[in-house]
């Protein structure tokens, strides 16, 4: 019996490893499609990407697992859920933001959302703090010009849609990894833009230097101070030398397609320095004015996600019924028919 159990465990482990290898292989190919398909022409591109991607997937999984459970959204929950009352000034405003989301509307009218009972999404917002003076009543005393901090949420955006919990987690992880890959591309393209600018600067300096040198050799020297021309030429030669050095440095860092591979591997390895999650606890009253915990206001846990040098955004996982959003049913039917090949 013990041998049979060992054999079963061994087979289960083998199947698990095979599934993990297949998932890693698919992840690499998706990453290559995103960054640059020419990476497939690089010898050993899979073996170079695999360890970095495995590390990044592990970090992304931990980040996603650390997020709070999705918050149910509908008109009734706005009056019952302090977080929703903080994010939106009214249930009507909340509904309007959902109705006006082109990304959400596109998802709901796609084949992926057909027959869905629930929709999962990530909602990103900008949080700002401002101060204002207000009048307060403490006991029988009226206090004027009391400085208070008001918290507001704006620029609500919805994304990473899914129709079940597991697909939602995979979507969040995929979005994080795509963001990392895009940053690798931006880094290389930024270097190449710098290289082009330096190439233009080098050409400009070469022509200017040539012009000054001609003035010292020809009849133009009768009209120009030779010592001043000499100083100009020396300064231009120094500038040209510095530009050539900068250009050579960029050529070594952004020369060919291999740089995309190196930059992608580096970005995946450095995911923990690129993406971070911070939790903030706020006590807000009904007007979103910050209060003390002793005031009896609920404690709100807010998740702030930072990617690279961008300003952190508050991210809230949510779920809701497709019926919560007003959708053009005619458009939805036409898109579903096209997806099914019916014309």
226 and 155 belong to one structural domain: no
211 and 125 belong to one structural domain: no
114 within some domain? yes
Q: What is the DSSP secondary structure assignment for residue 294, as one 8-state letter?
A: G
Structural domains in the chain (count): 2
Collapsing DSSP to helix, strand or coil, 274 comes out as helix
Residue 157 has pLDDT above 50, yes or no: yes
289 and 326 belong to one structural domain: yes
158 and 77 belong to one structural domain: yes
10 within some domain? no
Residue 72 has pLDDT above 80, yes or no: yes
**Which residue(s) pair with 306 in the sheet?**
276
159 and 279 belong to one structural domain: yes
Residue 222 has pLDDT above 50, yes or no: no
When pLDDT is averaged across residues 11-34 and rounded to a whole number, the result is 76
76 and 122 belong to one structural domain: yes
Q: What is the pTM of this model?
A: 0.71
175 within some domain? no
What pLDDT band is residue 14 in, cutting at 50, 70 and 90? confident
Both tokens assigned to 230: 């000499």
Instruction: Return the pLDDT at 108.
Output: 92
122 within some domain? yes
pLDDT tens digits, one per residue of 257-266: 677 788 888 8
Instruction: Return the pLDDT at 1.
Output: 54
119 and 236 belong to one structural domain: no
310 and 332 belong to one structural domain: yes
Q: CB of 53 within 8 A of CB of 24? A: yes
93 within some domain? yes
Separation of alpha carbons 179 and 124, rounded Å: 15
257 and 272 belong to one structural domain: no
Domain range for 214 is 182-261
Separation of alpha carbons 57 and 27, rounded Å: 9
The H or E element that residue 3 is part of is helix 2-35
60 within some domain? no
Point out the domain boundary residue: 261, 286, 301. Answer: 261
When pLDDT is averaged across residues 68-84 and rounded to a whole number, the result is 92
Instruction: Return the pLDDT at 149.
Output: 86
145 and 274 belong to one structural domain: yes
Q: CB of 139 within 8 A of CB of 26? A: no
Candidates 183, 174, 191; CA nearest to 64 is 174
Point out the domain boundary residue: 238, 261, 284. Answer: 261
- Mean pLDDT for all residues in the chain: 78
Checking 55-60 for CB contacts under 8 A at 24+ apart, the result is: 55/268, 55/269, 55/271, 56/177, 56/180, 56/268, 56/269, 56/271, 57/24, 57/27, 57/173, 57/177, 59/271, 59/272, 59/275, 60/172, 60/173, 60/176, 60/177, 60/271, 60/275
Instruction: Return the pLDDT at 216.
Output: 54
163 and 305 belong to one structural domain: yes
Both tokens assigned to 36: 């640059």
Place of tokens 């919560």: 324
239 and 288 belong to one structural domain: no
Instruction: Return the pLDDT at 82.
Output: 92
Q: Please classify residue 141 by burial: count the beta carbons closer than 10 Å to its beta carbon, then call 0-12 exposed, 13-18 middle and 19+ buried.
A: exposed
Residue 223 has pLDDT above 50, yes or no: no
6 within some domain? no
pLDDT tens digits, one per residue of 180-220: 877 777 776 666 666 666 677 767 767 666 665 665 555 44
Both tokens assigned to 142: 């009226």
Point out the domain boundary residue: 261, 281, 310. Answer: 261
Separation of alpha carbons 153 and 126, rounded Å: 6
More confident residue, 136 or 313: 313
22 within some domain? no
219: number of Cβ within 10 Å? 7
């Amino acid at each position: 019996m013990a041998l049979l159990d060992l054999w079963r465990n061994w087979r289960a482990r083998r199947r698990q490893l095979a599934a993990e290898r297949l998932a890693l292989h698919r992840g690499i190919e998706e990453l290559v499609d995103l960054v640059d398909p020419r990476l497939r022409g690089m010898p050993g591109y899979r073996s170079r990407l695999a360890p970095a991607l495995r590390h990044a997937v592990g970090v992304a999984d931990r980040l996603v697992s650390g997020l709070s459970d999705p918050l149910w959204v509908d008109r009734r929950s706005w009056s019952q859920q302090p977080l929703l009352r903080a994010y939106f000034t009214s249930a009507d405003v909340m509904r309007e933001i959902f109705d006006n989301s082109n990304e959400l509307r596109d998802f709901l009218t796609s084949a992926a959302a057909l027959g869905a009972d629930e929709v999962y999404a990530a909602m990103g917002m900008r949080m700002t703090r401002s101060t204002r003076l207000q009048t307060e009543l403490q006991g029988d005393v009226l206090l004027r010009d009391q400085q208070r901090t008001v918290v507001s949420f704006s620029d609500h955006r919805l994304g990473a849609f899914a129709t079940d919990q597991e697909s939602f987690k995979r979507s969040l992880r995929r979005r994080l990894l795509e963001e990392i890959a895009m940053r690798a591309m931006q880094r290389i393209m930024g270097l190449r833009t710098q290289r082009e600018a330096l190439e233009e600067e080098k050409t400009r300096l070469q022509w200017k230097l040539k012009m000054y040198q001609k003035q010292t050799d020809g009849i133009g020297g009768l009209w120009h101070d030779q010592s001043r021309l000499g100083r100009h030429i020396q300064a231009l030669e120094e500038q040209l030398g510095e530009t050539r050095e900068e250009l050579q440095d960029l050529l070594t860092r952004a020369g060919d397609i291999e740089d995309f591979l190196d930059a992608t591997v580096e970005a995946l390895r450095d995911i923990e320095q690129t993406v971070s999650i911070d939790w903030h606890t706020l006590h807000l009253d009904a007007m979103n004015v910050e209060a003390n915990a002793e005031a009896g206001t609920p404690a709100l846990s807010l998740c702030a996600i930072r990617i690279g040098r961008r300003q952190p955004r508050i991210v809230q996982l949510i779920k809701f019924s497709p019926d919560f959003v007003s959708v053009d049913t005619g458009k939805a039917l036409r898109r579903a028919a096209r997806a099914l090949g019916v014309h």
